[in-house]
Amino acid sequence: MKVPPDYIITPEILNLISKVDTNLMYLFSLTIPKELKQKIQRISLLKSSLFSARIEGNSATLETLNKSESDKEKNKEIFNILKANKFLERKVKNNFEVSKRFIYGLHSLVMTGEEEKTKNFRNEMGAIFNQSGIAVYLSPPPTQINSLIDQLIKFINSNIEKFPLICALVSHLVFEKIHPFIDGNGRVGRLLIFSILKAKGYGEGYLISFEKYLEENKSDYYYYLDQGYKNTEDYLVFMLNAFLKESEELKKQIESAQNGNENLLPPRQEEIYLIIKEHKIVSFDNIRRRFLKVPERTLRYDLKKLIDKGLTIKIGQTKGSYYRMK
């Protein structure tokens, strides 16, 4: 297995990089209030974590994340990834160097609660199976993992690839092909993309939740990963389109927020908004039952914020009041 694989920067790839860069430069040019920028980052981190878990088969949504105790085990996977994303926010700065210890650390965070799977790289043959249970890819033997990871780290920390996006995406492909752990490779591999971009100072201050596009196009994502070493250029085009689509979505959200059409809600307010949107008209008691651990005063504050933003309307003035979409 060659690290990195052979690939060329085609005109199509160059054009996609330019479009993503243009979107980011536009965002950098905006004067955004600190509070709004922090809110954007919080929501991006949550969405990144949620959709990374959904790629692995988790069925949670923004609406159901804090819904009930029955979702506790399901949510753990998401909040483990969120914890790892927040760790990257604090730890990884410009010129940060990736190491084995760092990769182990990411894996430990992602696999919190399953510590028996986090001690070392796998010591058995690994494979990727399709939905029918048929092995579609056999990963390198355990004896090669350390050497391959060393080669990958050398590539990441070098300036061999001048485009940060390409370095991050190629590294993700290589990591998934090495498949160094028994479990959690996909989640760690996607976090590695974020890590490399931060280390190389790319998109500073903005997290593009590319995982949403991957989850919505999961079959294509797995296909291009599978074929990535045979045709790396096609894999790169697919992944760059994920970044382009989600950078355009981020741009629209920020523009909408600046124009007063607030779509960038804090997670719990967004969940309440989605509940009202789904059920058309909802009583406060129904909302409260969905957030048993949240104080009543806090929920009423959230609802008032949705009303102030012109997203919902309150019907009635007593405790038996209802809420509906505006």
Q: Which whole number is the average pLDDT over 316-326? A: 79
Question: pLDDT-derived band of residue 126, with 50, 70 and 90 as boundaries?
Answer: confident
pLDDT for the residue 185: 93
Mean pLDDT computed over 50-78: 72
Better-scored residue on pLDDT, 43 or 247? 247
Please report, for residues 18, 80, 294, the alpha-carbon distance to residue 67 in angstroms, rounded to integers and kept in the order given.
41, 18, 11
- For residue 2, what pLDDT is reported? 95
Q: Show contacts of 169-172: CB within 8 Å, 24+ apart.
A: 169/193, 169/235, 169/236, 169/239, 169/240, 170/4, 170/5, 170/7, 170/232, 170/236, 171/4, 171/196, 172/239
Tell me if the bond preceding 4 is cis, omega within 30° of 0: yes
Q: Is the pLDDT of residue 264 over 50?
A: yes
306 touches 312 (CB < 8 A): yes
| Pair 103, 145: CB distance under 8 Å | no
Smallest CA-to-CA distance from 244 within 51, 21, 47, 8 is with 21
Kindly report, residue by residue over 153-171, the tens digit of the pLDDT: 999 999 999 999 999 999 9
Q: Write the pLDDT tens digit of every residue in 216-249.
A: 999 999 999 999 999 999 999 999 999 999 999 8
Q: What is the pLDDT of residue 289?
A: 84
Q: Which residue has the tokens 């957030």?
A: 291
- pLDDT beyond 50 at 113: yes
What CATH number has the domain spanning 267-325? 1.10.10.10
**CATH classification of 11-258, choosing from 3.40.50.740, 3.40.50.2000, 1.10.3290.10, 3.40.50.720?**
1.10.3290.10
Residue 283 backbone phi and psi in degrees, to 5: -85, 160
Task: Give CA 88 to chain center in angstroms.
Answer: 12
Q: Which carries the bigger pLDDT value, residue 148 or residue 305?
A: 148
Percentage of the chain with pLDDT > 90? 43
- Sign of CA pseudo-dihedral 168, 172, 174, 178: positive
pLDDT at 69: 43
- pTM for this structure? 0.77
Domain ranges of the chain: 11-258, 267-325
Question: 71 pLDDT band (50/70/90 cuts)?
Answer: low
